[in-house]
Structure 1
Amino acid sequence: MKQFTKLTPVAATLMLALSTTAVQADDKLSVGGFIDMSYLAVDTDGGASTHNSGVDQVEVNLGYDFGNKLTATVDVEYKNSNDGANVEQAFISYAVSDNLSIKAGRFLSYSGWETEEPTGLFQYSGTGYAQYFYGYYQQGVSALYSSDKFAVAVSVVNDLAGPQSTDSEHPGVETMVAFMPTENFTVKGFYSVDGDTKMLNTWAAYSKDSLTLAAEYNSSEDTAGAGSEADGYLLMANYGFANGLGLTLRYHDYSIDDATGNTFEDMSAITISPSYTVNSNLLMVFEYRMDSDDIGGMDSDSIAIEALVTF
């Protein structure tokens, strides 16, 4: 599913060099990104232990403001599991008004509490259930209307989770409604349809001072194929201390049934994740995670250390 346009290493290096030169000459071009590296040890009951370390992901984000309310965004990434660099996102945006904007190209779905990128996570790992309940990178057109207390979005895409799909005969549709009754509280709901696939994602978050609380509920039909049904949820709390230390606690659970109602995947996990902000560019994340597999019986414990550099 995670296939993007490939760039050769030479082309990727040239693109980065040209963009850096352009930044020095034109303040309309912005460059950012991150370097993500980690050590991960997993101990599975009845199985072998694994130890992996290295650079997980490098990403460069390029943005250009043409003026006249038109902007362009291109994200280039390298992942250790891929061969070379990839174009992750590439889209243009037009601000119809202060509240309404339209974008077209390849972009990430709005859905899901947990982000696709490590820079948006409160801990090292994602739940692992995003493939059943969230949209992914998509190609199409999306409109967003937002105000201080309300937002709505509609995306019409070739595939809810197909970044390279070009078949638009039977498009997928993703809708979002969001409410922000106060500056500390947000509620969002997403309903997406693509053929027989239907996904519902809802989450609420409360954030004040150093405390963030979040809860998410999901359900879907046919995301695992063969008429399957799935549901899942998470509960999360994060607190940031004054000395740069942070702590995240998370519990998540999900299950998938086949067309006959038999459960073939039933997973849950408890995650404890301290973190330390070394400076404005370097974040260290530590994680201890306990996974339970109620169907396969392959319970596991994992320990991770992550260094995340943003620029």
Structure 2
Amino acid sequence: MKVSKRSLLSLAVAMAAATATPLAQADGFQLSEKLTATGFIDMSYVYTDVDGGDSVSASGLDQFEIDFLYDFDDKLKAQVDLEYKDAYGAVDLEQAFMTYALTDEFTVKAGRFLSYSGWETEEPTGLFQYSGTGYAPYFYGYYQQGVSGLYSGDVFSAALSVINSPFSPEDTDSEHPGFEAMLAVTPTDSVTVKAFYLQDGDTKAFNTWAAYSAGDLTLAAEYNSSEDTAGAGSEGDGFLLMANYAFDSAGITLRYHDFEIEDAAGAVIDDGSAITISPSYTVSDNLLMVFEYRMDESDTKGDSNTIAVEALVTF
């Protein structure tokens, strides 16, 4: 019998102070005095039991990525990321950009690069569990083409990116550019708060998150809202709560998220909420195993339970 997430929510809150998962780390290969290569191989098995439907399973290579980082000198650096995904069936250029440090605190970046926004990262090496929430396309920026300036201080940081579009790396229209703005504060070594505003014409998104990390414990909360990210006058909001605890070579993560997108008439066109429980185990410095059990509820996509096993190799 399926257990409702509503009955599990009180359990989720109680566990939130004692849950966690470690992140994979990689030092990369020094190809020359100035050139370094890093990357990862991401493989998984996923089984999904759909309420009122057939179960589905899939396995294989999710993604392979190799990143080249070149240091010309103390100020000028460049990075090129290449990736292969089964979904693409080909090698794709993910990022290619240069950075120049005008001062110790202020850096300019130009080229094709990933948005600063969002608590959950685009790459599996930055996630605390196997799956993302699934709401990133509505609230987060994506890979972008343009110019970005970043000021990084001890307590306060700010960034402004002027790009063709904050939501699409394929957009080449620079006549009507979009932008992304970030403000961040780190009042202590343990606390970080960031806020982002993104706009491209009528399409707007706001994302803010706060995280507490001390010792083996990480807690995070995120809130999002958007307008027209699904087109036709749509609007929506969403949030997540996450707790992560790491001990020795193992860890566990607990996450709850919820979102809803409405069209101009107020009809729900996409929604979802889920509780995710994700233990992990560090087999070696370069191999992380991630296990996940996720319970989804959605009025538009239906309910489902998912089990996933991931092997993440970093180098």
Q: Report the equivalent of 1:241.
A: 247
Shift of 1:279: 1.2
Q: Aligned partner of 2:261: which letter?
A: I
Taking the aligned partners of 2:103 and 2:227, their CA distance within structure 1 comes to 36
2:149 to 126, 143, 165: 143
Q: Aligned partner of 2:276: which letter?
A: T
Q: Aligned partner of 1:63: which letter?
A: L
Taking the aligned partners of 1:201 and 1:235, their CA distance within structure 2 comes to 14
- SS of residue paired to 1:141: strand
Change (3 A) 1:68 1:245: closer
Q: How does 1:49-128 map to 2 (within 5 A)?
A: 49-67=55-73, 69-128=75-134
Taking the aligned partners of 2:296 and 2:223, their CA distance within structure 1 comes to 19
Taking the aligned partners of 2:39 and 2:270, their CA distance within structure 1 comes to 36
Q: How does 1:181-260 map to 2 (within 5 A)?
A: 181-242=187-248, 244-260=249-265
Taking the aligned partners of 2:85 and 2:225, their CA distance within structure 1 comes to 30
Q: Report the equivalent of 1:176.
A: 182
Taking the aligned partners of 2:275 and 2:220, their CA distance within structure 1 comes to 15
User: How many residue pairs get matched?
Assistant: 287
- SS of residue paired to 2:125: helix
Shift of 1:68: 5.1
Taking the aligned partners of 2:109 and 2:90, their CA distance within structure 1 comes to 27
Matched, 1:280 2:292: no
Q: CA RMSD in A?
A: 1.0
Q: Report the equivalent of 2:314.
A: 310
Q: Give deviations 1:2-46, integer Å, cap 9, x for gaps.
A: xxxxxxxxxxxxxxxxxx8xx54x210011000000000011111
Q: Report the equivalent of 1:27.
A: 33
- SS of residue paired to 1:97: coil
Q: Aligned partner of 1:247: which letter?
A: I
Q: Report the equivalent of 2:45.
A: 39
TM-score of the aligned structures, taking structure 1 as reference length: 0.91
After TM superposition, the runs of 4+ consecutive aligned structure 1 residues lying more than 4 A away are none
Q: Aligned partner of 2:313: which letter?
A: V
Q: Aligned partner of 1:238: which letter?
A: N
Taking the aligned partners of 1:161 and 1:295, their CA distance within structure 2 comes to 24
Identity %: 66
**Runs of at least 5 residues in structure 2 that lack an aligned partner in the other structure:** 1-28
Larger relative CO (CA 8 A, sep 6+): 1 or 2?
A: 2
Taking the aligned partners of 2:46 and 2:260, their CA distance within structure 1 comes to 25
